[in-house]
Amino acid sequence: MRSKEDPRVRKTRRLLRDALVSLILEKNYTSVSIKDITARADVAYITFFRHFESIDHLLMEVLDDGLAELMQQIEASTAQTGTPNPEVEGKFIFEYIEQKSDLFRILFKSQSVTPLRKKVVTSLSAIYQKTCSPLYNSRSCIPVNVASNHIATSLLALIEWWLDNMMSPSASQMGKIYKNLIIDSTIGAVTSS
């Protein structure tokens, strides 16, 4: 729906979104005001309310869009290869995080986005339930939804750690870590039980 918006509307929304992101990275989310956002975006105060109900609404849109893009990229990379390659998938995830690091720093920095983090875990878990067939071991005492939730929450914890450590090691190395530490160990636990 937003893709059919007037280009001026898209530009204004982008300016407001970018202003919010830069302000949150400079100071605490709770200290950011609509006046700060509109001043940074160089738009009139009233313009904010033509596009968003509140700062929370703006933040949720920013994070929601970025996370939706990540989910689409993960699903697309799995679909392209035909068979999931966890190391390549992991490298791809961390390359994307590297490109959108400001967005993900906000996701982990702000306590006000806890509901969105839960939504991310649910969405990631659903992807792993669809794409990770080894989780379906009929003899396993670990239910598929538990294993896929474990992968999702572990991935978010690993991303947060990586951002806190200045995105070191490289995205490629993180792909290997993701495969070995999260995917292989979870599949190993499911298949051995």
Query: pLDDT of 111-156, one tens digit each?
Result: 666 777 787 888 888 888 887 888 888 788 999 999 999 999 999 9
Q: Are residues 150 and 71 in the same domain?
A: yes
Give me the pLDDT at residue 193, please. 64
The enclosing domain of 46 has a CATH number of 1.10.10.60
Give me the pLDDT at residue 48, please. 97
Q: Are residues 48 and 71 in the same domain?
A: no
Q: Are residues 88 and 145 in the same domain?
A: yes
Give me the pLDDT at residue 161, please. 96
For the stretch 95-110, pLDDT in tens is 989 998 988 888 787 6
Q: How far is CA 127 from CA 5, 110, 169, in A?
A: 30, 25, 26
In this structure, of 45-54, 62-71, 137-146, 154-163, the range with the lowest mean pLDDT score is 62-71
Q: Are residues 45 and 65 in the same domain?
A: no
Q: Are residues 46 and 77 in the same domain?
A: no
| Structural domain ending residue among the three candidates 31, 52, 73 | 52
Domain count, the chain: 2
Q: Are residues 95 and 177 in the same domain?
A: yes
Tell me the torsion sign for CA atoms 70, 75, 81, 85: positive
Q: Are residues 98 and 123 in the same domain?
A: yes
62 has a pLDDT exceeding 70 = yes
The enclosing domain of 164 has a CATH number of 1.10.357
Q: Are residues 100 and 140 in the same domain?
A: yes
In this structure, of 70-79, 117-126, 165-174, the range with the lowest mean pLDDT score is 70-79
Q: Are residues 69 and 41 in the same domain?
A: no
Q: What is the rounded average pLDDT of the residues 173-179?
A: 96
State if pTM tops 0.85. no
Contact between 102 and 21 (Cβ < 8 Å): yes
Angle formed at CA 142 by CA 188 and CA 75, multiple of 5 degrees: 70
Q: Are residues 95 and 183 in the same domain?
A: yes
Q: Are residues 34 and 114 in the same domain?
A: no
Full residue range of the structural domain in which residue 1 is found: 1-52
